[in-house]
């Protein structure tokens, strides 16, 4: 009998260069990266909308990834190009 072991974890992320961060929320561009879990997009975009109303941040993009894998590099590139910072999370 042959047994196959499978590692279900996503590959290690590539180390990113440190950034200076953002000085203030007002005028900043926020992106959302949701993982397809039920209500994740609703919760994350609602948070972004609250930050827009209360602090002047602007929701500029909503990107999607599979719950079972890391985000596609093209999705990450889109977020880097369009957003100053990103809300990432999941929900059930």
Q: Rounded distance, CA 9 to CA 69, Å?
A: 8
Query: What are the boundaries of each domain within the chain?
Result: 29-89
What pLDDT sits at residue 45?
A: 92
| pLDDT tens-digit map of 6-20 | 666 656 666 666 767
Please give the backbone phi and psi of residue 59, each rounded to the nearest 5 degrees, phi first.
-75, 120
Contact 90, 78 (CB under 8 A): no
What pLDDT sits at residue 78?
A: 92
Could you give the strand order of the β-sheet that contains 29-34, starting from the edge strand earlier in sequence?
58-64, 29-34, 85-89
| pLDDT tens-digit map of 53-88 | 999 999 999 998 888 888 889 999 999 999 999 998
HSE (side-chain half, CA atoms, 13 Å) at 54: 6
| pLDDT tens-digit map of 3-60 | 766 666 656 666 666 767 788 889 999 999 998 888 889 999 999 999 999 999 999 9
Question: What is the helix (H) or strand (E) element at residue 10, kind and residue range?
Answer: none
């Amino acid at each position: 009998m042959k047994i196959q072991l499978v590692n279900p974890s996503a590959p290690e992320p590539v180390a990113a260069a440190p950034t200076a961060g953002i000085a203030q929320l007002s005028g900043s561009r926020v992106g959302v990266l949701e993982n397809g879990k039920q209500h994740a997009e609703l919760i994350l975009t609602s948070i972004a909308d609250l930050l827009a109303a209360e602090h002047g941040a602007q929701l500029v993009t909503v990107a999607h990834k599979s719950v079972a894998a890391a985000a596609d590099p093209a999705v990450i590139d889109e977020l880097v190009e369009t957003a100053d910072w990103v809300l990432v999370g999941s929900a059930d």
